Amino acid sequence: MGSALQLITKYYRFASPTLTGLWRVQTENQAWQLAFRGGQLVDFESAAGTSDFADFLLDVGAIGSANHTLLRAVTTRGSELMRMIAEVVGGSAALLRLRRQHALHRIGALLCKDDTSDSFSATPVDVQGTLELDALAIPYLALRLQPPERLQGALAGWQGRKVRLQRNPDIPVAGLCLDREALNVAREFTQPRDVAEVIAQHSAGAEALVSQAAALTLLGCQMLVETDEVAAAPAPAPQPPLAQPPRISPSAMNRKVPSLGVTRIPGGRELTDENQPPPTLPMDPTAPDDTGQFETMATGTAPPVSDTGEIFEEPKVPSVDEFLDTIDRRLITDAEASLDQMNEPEHRIAVLRDYLNANSPRHGDPGGAMSDALAGLQKFTTEHPDDHLGPLLLSRLYENADNAALAQVFGSQAKRLAPEAPEVANWKHCK
């Protein structure tokens, strides 16, 4: 295994819900520091420190040349420096969004480097203005932002070597934030395949980044392992009955997905609709759907291994009750994956997405997300007065806002409309 890939593997060792501490990496006489806390990346310092962040802000157009020169010259550190930058970029919420983008860009570059030394200190991490990025999701997203030649260099040691997909019991697949395109690449390895051969099949345009980033992610988290097995001959595809038309999922036609939100890669390349990274859905590859794509199951744990070593199983359509339960347990990544698979009408999906945003610690504007959710639910309840979902979500929002009286009022309304619905029966203000 090449040293660059060893660095990715080491990263996954510390991106664990059971670990809190600082990971220090030395590469090419440059020091990097990442702070982990219970499965989240809460702080990141790149090799060049403040100067590097100032360069990034200039590259993405967040500051002008005058402020860039000023920030590179200041000696202030810590919270005082962050307050200064926040005033320049438009407030604390804008600063947090830019810090997250900067971390993704630079960690992607770090994970492709050869490390000379590293150390991990299991010490309490007290960081104000925490990044709150899901640690397991970072590698794939960060690698997607790197130049293809950098990814090619990190994969150089795997040319001509055959690997096979397997489960890593310590890492839930859903947490990797693989999009649908990456899952299609992963599917290629359900039988022993040559890494270079699979990447060559997906080498046109943006597909090259997908295949390379997906391969590096799966190799790094040890879900692709080298094997001497010979691929079995593919079984003949079963012929569907002529009288049975193919099923089309209504949610697939109306689905809306979030975008990464990165505006420009440093160096000047704009992330337009044509070349920006795909939507960042934290998916769990379980089984191909009717179109040959992967569907996911947001369980928060890795699916079991079958007798053949594959990590796929039959897809399961999440219910509203299961979706709300994942949010209550703060499994935001799993909730995002569940929402993408739910067979609900578009008007219901819209308010469920608003509710998710209002509960997500990763949202850059919590107050705005809450206002949007309340406005959306007001419109929803007006247009669909007999749907219990509106008052149920209002009850939950007011409970989160420490307004138990209003939460009880809307909970009672939801119970009157649908007393047998599991999401109603399980909500404390409906009992």
Instruction: Confirm if 137 and 176 have CB atoms less than 8 A apart.
Output: yes
Mean pLDDT of the chain: 75
Percent of the chain with pLDDT over 90: 7
- pLDDT single digits (tens) 243-287: 443 333 333 333 333 334 443 344 333 333 444 444 433 333 333
| 162-171, 282-291, 383-392 — most confident range | 383-392
Verdict on whether the full-model pTM lies above 0.75: no
Domain with 72 in it: 1-135
Q: Are residues 123 and 196 in the same domain?
A: no
The first and second tokens of residue 66, run together, are: 């005058």
Are 125 and 188 found together in one domain? no
* Cβ within 8 Å of residue 168, ≥6 positions away: 221, 222, 223, 302
Length of the chain: 431
Number of domains in the chain: 3
Q: Do 37 and 111 sit in the same domain of this protein?
A: yes
Q: Sign (positive/negative) of CA torsion 321, 326, 332, 335?
A: negative
Same structural domain, 353 and 406: yes
Burial class (CB in 10 A: 0-12, 13-18, 19+), 195: buried
Least confident of 38-47, 276-285, 306-315: 276-285
Q: Does residue 246 sit within a domain?
A: no
Residue 142 inside a domain? The answer is no
Q: Is residue 201 in a domain?
A: yes
Which residue, of 237, 262, 284, is where some domain finishes? Answer: 284
Q: In this structure, are residues 412 and 388 in contact, taking their beta carbons and an 8 Å threshold?
A: no
pLDDT tens for each residue of 2-42: 455 788 888 888 888 888 888 888 887 788 888 898 888 88
Least confident of 278-282, 413-417, 420-424: 278-282
325-370 pLDDT per residue, tens: 888 887 887 788 888 888 888 899 999 999 998 888 766 677 778 8
Burial of 117 from C-beta contacts in 10 A (0-12 / 13-18 / 19+): exposed
- Per residue in 209-224, pLDDT (tens digit) is 888 888 899 998 889 8
